[in-house]
Amino acid sequence: MIVAMQETATEDQIQVVTEHLIEMGFSVHRTTGERQTILAAVGARSDFDTRNLEVLGGVMEVHRISAPYKLAGRSFRPQGTIIEFKNGVKVGGKEVVVMAGPCSVESREQLFTVAELVAKAGARALRGGAFKPRTSPYSFQGLGLDALKLLREAGDKHNMLVVSEVMEISQIEVMLPYVDILQVGARNMQNFNLLRELGKLKTPILLKRGIAATIEELLLSAEYIMAGGNYNIIACERGIRTFETYTRNTLDISAIPIVHKLSHLPIASDPSHGTGRRDKVAPMARASVAAGADSLLIEVHHNPDKALSDGAQSLYPQQFVELMDSLRMIAPAVGRSIA
């Protein structure tokens, strides 16, 4: 941590700050320039609240120089994390893994139709909601256990992994027999009790960024899960809320290279929720792959106009096929591949 003192700081004030830092376990290296004193504090603590220093007399600025997360940080595994699944799919390797499916599982007919078409087009995971976090309590809430059974059956039929969202601790046990990846939705990124429980598992977690969360907060949420012993996490950029109203959210493509720099975890991009509009999904999916995304989440529906949730952002089957074709041209340009 770097503490820059004000030009007017007195020797007493500098001493108070120095003692405060020593008390916190830092060793302090002082540089006194012509005008200003700089204190460099080196130490083990990363959970330190810099505001405690900022409010001390004579302090001008405080800068953290080490990340507040350890296990999620790049230096924990400089080579990067690759999550391997039983069907041979690897997330974080050379292949960009496409996870696709309907926003919600609505019926057997719907799910099996969509599963077949996304599998044929190259999706490696079937993604569908069984428990839905809906903004309105009157909207479709999901088919629950019935949906999970259908997802497993359709996933197995087409050799696809199954991904579905867990909204609360009590659903974990119900879901485990049916899913390969548990998704934590944007609304639950900081449900710390849920994250702690997921830390006790080995099942991979797809952790979505909250709509108002910084990248640091996303990585701290990953740290919660990792602190419990589950290192199998895929971070996911799914758009954040900004002042822009044309799109549902603003997909923060820059989060992809930033997470790669700060963390060893693979990062997925979700241009469906990230834009909320079908016509914007393919361009942003292509941009995500070009930016280095390890995985994509794409909502697809065989009849989006009748979808019970997120129809406007769901691709028509042919659009998904065309998107996959274009990704097969873009991926090699950045050293990646698509199934």
Q: Where on the chain is the footprint of Mn ion (CB under 5 A)?
A: 103, 310
Nearer to ligand PEP, 230 or 314 (CB): 314
Q: Which residue has the tokens 């769901």?
A: 314
Shorter beta-carbon distance to ligand PEP: residue 31 or 242: 242
Q: What is the smallest separation between the CB atom of 188 and ligand PEP, expressed in angstroms?
A: 8
Helices (H), the chain: 11-23, 51-54, 108-121, 145-157, 169-175, 192-198, 215-227, 255-262, 271-275, 278-291, 317-333
Structure token pair of residue 60? 């001008």
Binding mask 191-210 for ligand PEP (x = CB under 6 A): -----------------x--
CB closer to ligand PEP, 185 vs 199 = 185
Q: In angstroms, what is the minimal distance from the CB of 82 to ligand PEP?
A: 23
Q: Is 185 in the site for ligand PEP (CB under 6 A)?
A: yes
Give me the least distance between CB of 107 and Mn ion, in Å please: 17
**Selected binder of ligand PEP within 58, 101, 129, 317 (CB under 6 A):** 129
Q: Supply the DSSP symbol for 129.
A: B
Q: Whole-angstrom Cα distance, residue 173 to residue 200?
A: 12
H or E element that contains 28: strand 27-32
CA dist 193 to 110, 168, 299, Å? 34, 9, 28
SS3 at position 57: coil
In terms of CB distance, is 129 or 199 closer to Mn ion?
Answer: 129
Q: What is the smallest separation between the CB atom of 229 and ligand PEP, expressed in angstroms?
A: 24
Write the CB contacts of 173 (distance below 8 Å, at least 6 apart in sequence).
none
Q: Is 133 in the site for ligand PEP (CB under 6 A)?
A: yes
Query: Shortest gap between Cβ of 245 and ligand PEP (angstroms)?
Result: 17
Strands 83-84 and 90-91: antiparallel
| Interaction residues for ligand PEP, span 276-305 (CB under 6 A) | none
Measured from the CB atom, the residue of 273 and 336 that comes closer to ligand PEP is 273
Site map 50..79 versus ligand PEP, x via CB under 6 A: ------------------------------
Q: Which is nearer to Mn ion, 17 or 189 (CB)?
A: 189
CA distances from 260 to 77, 249, 254, 272, 273 (A): 12, 22, 10, 21, 21
Q: In the bound complex, what is the minimum distance in angstroms from residue 319's beta carbon to ligand PEP? A: 18
Q: How far apart are CA 236 and CA 209, in angstroms?
A: 6
Strands 205-208 and 181-184, bridge-based pairing: parallel
Site string for ligand PEP, 242-281 (x = CB under 6 A): -------------------------------x--------
What does the binding site for ligand PEP look like in residue numbers (CB under 6 A)?
A: 103, 129, 133, 185-187, 208, 238, 273
